[in-house]
Amino acid sequence: MGLIAELEGLTAALQQGLDQAVSLPEVEALRVAFMGRKGRLAGLMARLKEVDPEDRPAVGQAANAAKQRLAELLEERIARLKALAEGAEERFFDPSMPGRPPYRGSLHPVTLVMNELCSILEGIGYEVVSGPEAETDFHNFAALNFPKDHPARDMQDTLYLGEDLVMRTHTSPMQVRSMLAHKKPPLAVLAPGKVYRRDFDLTHTPMFHQVEGLLVGQNISLGDLRGTLAYLARELFGPETRLRFRPSFFPFTEPSAEVDLSCMFCGGSGRTDGGTCRVCKGGGWLEILGSGMVDPNVFKAVGFPEDCSGFAFGLGVERIAMLKYGIGDLRMFFENDARFLERF
């Protein structure tokens, strides 16, 4: 009969509408259109009086079946939309899906370089030591030949925490602590870590990293210092690397020297294919660290014998990392930019 066919057709019509409904209000509009008091189902039921009495039971059964199926379709679509809104679909576990590999971070370039420096020097007998970043005046200055009125204290741009307590301006206090702990030579230590100075501009930050080395024994000479630093530089930058020593001044070493490295970007020539080397500015050399023979006053402050000798050196880790990885802006180390860090 025609009315039964129309009732059965409601299901397909509603399903077509629900497939295009992407929100609960759209589903509600379909419910009203099909099952409301003036909806399509109600309109068909109003024509029941036109059906022959003997056919009315069959039409009534078809109407009830259509009503039940329409209600089921609406409930299914509503439940689906609510599940999507609550993120239930994302939480659904499908054992047949491949697993997601965990995101792996990487070590910071400063950490990588510090670890490499320590590994190279540990390989020739140095011991890595660490200590407090808040230091006493004695360990940070006095024992390193910085008396109270020494003008070199002005070079340090110190952050004071109190009259006798400072944020360490170098890792040299660990050299003092190591000598005090060992009582007598021989001694070979490395002191990596953070240091702090009241200094901030395009090329300086209030916190940075240093690695300092100390070797104390008998008959230690400048030749031993040069050999150690040449070995370190060649392990870091390649066998063709050359060093240049320039006289300098540090209160805790005498004689003292600044050490320059042949530019690894132009091979020390000062020029590249594009003209003047932008890294060394055409000079062919790059300043890399400070060094010298330990001043006798430092040995006296820690109670070491007068006949011992030794050398010390210190370098900025960020400086080495910039040269090693070709990084042009110091601030990139501190910005936590994942695009930069994931390169390492």
- Which residue from 203, 204, 215 is spatially nearest to 169, judged by alpha carbons? 204
Number of domains in the chain: 2
Same domain, 52 and 166: no
Residues 6+ apart with CB under 8 A from 258: 245, 246, 247, 248, 287, 289, 290, 291
Characterize the bridge pairing of strands 309-316 and 243-250: unpaired
Q: Higher pLDDT residue, 313 or 62?
A: 313
Q: What is the pLDDT of residues 186-212, one digit of tens each?
A: 999 999 999 998 776 656 678 899 999
Backbone angles phi, psi at 260, to 5 degrees: -105, 150
Same domain, 210 and 327: yes
Same domain, 246 and 295: yes
Q: What is the pLDDT of residues 245-256, one digit of tens each?
A: 999 999 899 999
Is 124:231 a contact under the CB 8 Å cutoff?
yes
Q: What is the pLDDT of residue 80?
A: 84
Q: What is the CATH number of the domain that holds 243?
A: 3.30.930.10
Classify the C-alpha dihedral 258-264-269-275 as positive or negative.
negative
Same domain, 197 and 243: yes
Residue 270 lies in a domain: yes
Same domain, 32 and 159: no
Same domain, 210 and 330: yes
The overall average pLDDT reported for the chain is 86
Domain finish residue from 91, 117, 140 = 91
Same domain, 87 and 170: no
Supply the range of the domain harboring residue 223: 109-341
Same domain, 194 and 50: no
Same domain, 200 and 51: no
Same domain, 78 and 147: no
Q: What is the pLDDT of residues 114-139, one digit of tens each?
A: 999 999 999 999 999 999 999 999 99
Residue 210 lies in a domain: yes
Same domain, 175 and 66: no
Residues 206-224, mean pLDDT to the nearest whole number: 93
